[in-house]
Structure 1
Amino acid sequence: VAAATAVACARHGLRTLVISTDAAHSLGDSLDVELGDRPTEIEPNLWAQEVNALHELEENWEKVHRYLSTLFASQGVDEIVAEELASPPGMEEVASLMWIKHHQRSGEYDVLVVDCAPTGETLQLLAFPDVARWYLNRIFPIERRVMKVARPVVQPFVSIPLPGDEVFGSIKDMLLDLEAMKSVLGDPKVCSVRIVLNLEKMVIKEAQRAFTYLSLYDYLTDLVVVNRVLPPEVTDRYFDSWREAQARYSDLVDTAFAPIPILRTRLFDHEVVGLDSLAEMADSIFGPLDPSAIMYHEVPQRVRKSGSDYELLLNLPFVSRAELAVTHREGELYITVGPYKREISLPRVLKGKTVTAAKLEEGMLRVVFGSAKS
């Protein structure tokens, strides 16, 4: 669907780049072309790129990569294996964010389509800027100071190399870049997320969880695309139970994701590979609509004044009260939903205010801030 969207945008005359953040890299297979770790022109107005985390680490964070390689090699790990291990978990997401930032700043493209990995990896990708800010403000300064003092004393007695200050400098630069990405990804005027699902119970449940966590991290979801819907011309009785299930789950999707727009595309009678097939799919999804337009504009989080108090409103669909925890400290609000936790930096207008109430009603969390006497 991401590749089809990119093809449609390009054929609308927009300079379009589609990036794959999935380590499996199926984007090139969909386009039926060989892709590299730099943008490759596919046709007029269309470029594609598959991010290589190891290459990005070597090129942009060489000091970190060299330290990690030395660390693993010092423990007897084979040199080639050490090179691979020097690309730690999460680097695919970090490298993808860096490229998104680079292309957004360059202004070379009108539209950037990011073909995301499955839900878990994508949520890690989108949570990185918040995590980076927390680590940069809370943990990183302590670690750096401790290591600066302890390194000369400890290093002679241990067999592993300890990171030097230049490694911490590289990590700090990387964290600052990640933190800056929040202003891009979290701007509903320029960036939105589109959820793609099939009409199957487990897939819909996963999409609902993804929608919840996207709202938690204040990302705008502007469209849901339902893929592989049985077309009416399929009348074989073999598909009767499948059609009934799809009809049932289609109603569930309409109810669950309203008022977000929902578009559907049929199950094709051929493999959707290559530019012409992708253009056919895009036409099935968007029809006369502009595929690059943001189709829904209500942001998940907002603050409003209510009498002498203030209310922070946050859309948290599909969440039960048992899954939710809210904690307030001066200037910050911590919201935990299941395994995910978000730190929200509160606006100055709420400075000195305390949380006097918190209610979850019909998918909307309402946190009330008043004076300490309230």
Structure 2
Amino acid sequence: MRTLLVTGPGGAGTTTVAAAAALAAAREGERVLLLGCDEAPGGLATGAAPGLTVERVDANAVFRERARELQGRFGVVFDLLGAAPLDDEEFTELPGAQEFALLQALGVAADAGHDTVVVDLPPVPGALRLLALPEQLRRYLDRLLPSERQAARALRPMLAQLAGVPMPAEWLYDAAARWDAELASVQAVVAAASTGVRLVVEPGARSAATLRTARTGLALYGLRLESVAANRLLPTGSPDPFLARLTGQQREHLKGLRGEFGDREDVAVAELPHLGRDPHGVRDLEELGVTAPAGGGFPDTPAPDPWSVEDRLSQEGLLLWRLPLPGASRDRLDLVRRGDELVVDAAGFRRVLPLPSALRRCRVEGAALRDGALQVRFTPDPSLWPR
């Protein structure tokens, strides 16, 4: 299954581009799912092209279902507190429920038999934080309810008698295992070699800043940038001075965009015209000329790790861990060693990275940002390094 994740700054036309990409893939004879929280432009619906399915995530319904499940499980706690459970009509969707529902739908789509799934994501940087969420939540679950803590599970009845209150029941560990499995399925889709991100921008000063932030966040989270869509480009040659000036500014920013990505054969830069109106219906979406998702890797196969450890022990007595972070700046970059992990903050994003086995027996000697990559220097710890 190929997965195309579409995002960009708010108002850049990501929903339109996502719909057009799904339509283009369906025209190629694929079974395509268009997934999003907003209505598809122009009333695009299931059946608009053979093999095309359009699904709008109902975040409120998903939230109510999960809330009812948790409330049923916490019956003992409600009894202890003397609180009455909520009625169905009292459940109100909380902030962030829409994003969680979208992640859940993406995990379900992985097993639904589609050839291609196109996901209309929230704007950058919210989209990148959303894509990083499965990995982060799995880490939290493992810390709070580690599956290997069998001894604690066996002691719970005795601890409950000593404390005088019920201890976490078996259902809590079962629920954690179920949540972990759901998150793992989403994480596998996001990290697959056949998954790519398409950034949609309107060429301009704002888009340049968004692209730099997005490139850094994508690299930090190990996500593949499939293409950049320069949207709503005005036609050249207009006799109107105002339009001519706007067109010139767009083309100047487009030139810089191509200069930034021109040396990367794996990232295409597409030019999409301004139709002079909001796209409406299948014909307008096809007129944009949006391409279907590009192939990349093999389905269900993790993408290759772009981060490498270079052995310089014989020459310089150190190991160099190189983490590509294009677009990162020194003033918005920080890292700290925490046990066997490295916490990296870049452009407002954070990721906790487990150290490769060899580096766990080393000390951090320093780091530098060079040529768009964070280079962290490690030297062997004499007390841990084999002689």
Q: Please give the range of the TM-score, normalised by the shorter of the 2 chains.
A: 0.7 to 0.9
Residue equivalent to 1:159: none
| Within-5 A mapping of 1:103-182 | 103-106=109-112, 108-140=113-145, 166=171, 169-182=174-187
The letter of the residue matching 1:268 is L
Shift of 1:76: 10
Go from structure 1 to structure 2 and tell me whether the alpha carbon gap of 1:150 and 1:100 turns closer, same or farther (over 3 Å shift). same
2:227 corresponds to 1:216: no
Q: Where does structure 2 lack aligned partners over 5 or more consecutive residues? A: 1-16, 298-302
Q: Percent identity at matched positions?
A: 24
CA deviation vs aligned residue, 1:312-354 (integer Å, no higher than 9, x gap): 3222122221211122234322111243210112333434233
Q: Distance in 2 between matches of 1:119 and 1:48?
A: 23
Residue equivalent to 1:37: none
Quick one: which of 238, 242, 245 aligns to 1:238? 242
Residue equivalent to 1:272: 279
User: How does the TM-score come out when normalised to structure 2?
Assistant: 0.76
Residue equivalent to 1:183: 188
CA deviation vs aligned residue, 1:59-106 (integer Å, no higher than 9, x gap): 4664226579998xx999995773114xx3333222222222222123
Quick one: which of 18, 21, 39 aligns to 1:5? 21
Go from structure 1 to structure 2 and tell me whether the alpha carbon gap of 1:305 and 1:254 turns closer, same or farther (over 3 Å shift). same
Shift of 1:16: 0.8
The letter of the residue matching 1:357 is G
Q: Distance in 2 between matches of 1:231 and 1:77?
A: 60
2:368 corresponds to 1:366: no
The letter of the residue matching 2:199 is I
Shift of 1:242: 0.9
Secondary structure of the 2:187 match is helix
CA deviation vs aligned residue, 1:12-71 (integer Å, no higher than 9, x gap): 111111100x4xx132xx14146xxxxx44331111111112222344664226579998
CA deviation vs aligned residue, 1:107-164 (integer Å, no higher than 9, x gap): x11111111111133123112112112211223569x99x9978997989xxxxx997
Q: Distance in 2 between matches of 1:359 and 1:269?
A: 47
Shift of 1:300: 7.4
Residue equivalent to 1:26: 39
Contact 1:17 1:109 in 2 (8 A): yes
Secondary structure of the 1:270 match is coil
Q: Distance in 2 between matches of 1:341 and 1:279?
A: 38
Contact 1:16 1:46 in 2 (8 A): yes
The letter of the residue matching 2:114 is Y
Q: Distance in 2 between matches of 1:363 and 1:103?
A: 35
CA deviation vs aligned residue, 1:148-184 (integer Å, no higher than 9, x gap): 978997989xxxxx99764664355224421443232
Residue equivalent to 2:334: 325
Q: Distance in 1 between matches of 2:30 and 2:187?
A: 25
Q: Distance in 2 between matches of 1:151 and 1:126?
A: 42
Contact 1:218 1:299 in 2 (8 A): no
The letter of the residue matching 2:286 is A
Q: Distance in 2 between matches of 1:18 and 1:150?
A: 49
User: How does the TM-score come out when normalised to structure 1?
Assistant: 0.79
Shift of 1:201: 1.6
Residue equivalent to 1:90: 96
Q: Distance in 2 between matches of 1:167 and 1:62?
A: 15
The letter of the residue matching 2:271 is R
Residue equivalent to 2:256: 252
Residue equivalent to 2:5: none
Q: CA RMSD in A?
A: 3.6
Go from structure 1 to structure 2 and tell me whether the alpha carbon gap of 1:93 and 1:163 turns closer, same or farther (over 3 Å shift). farther
Secondary structure of the 1:13 match is coil
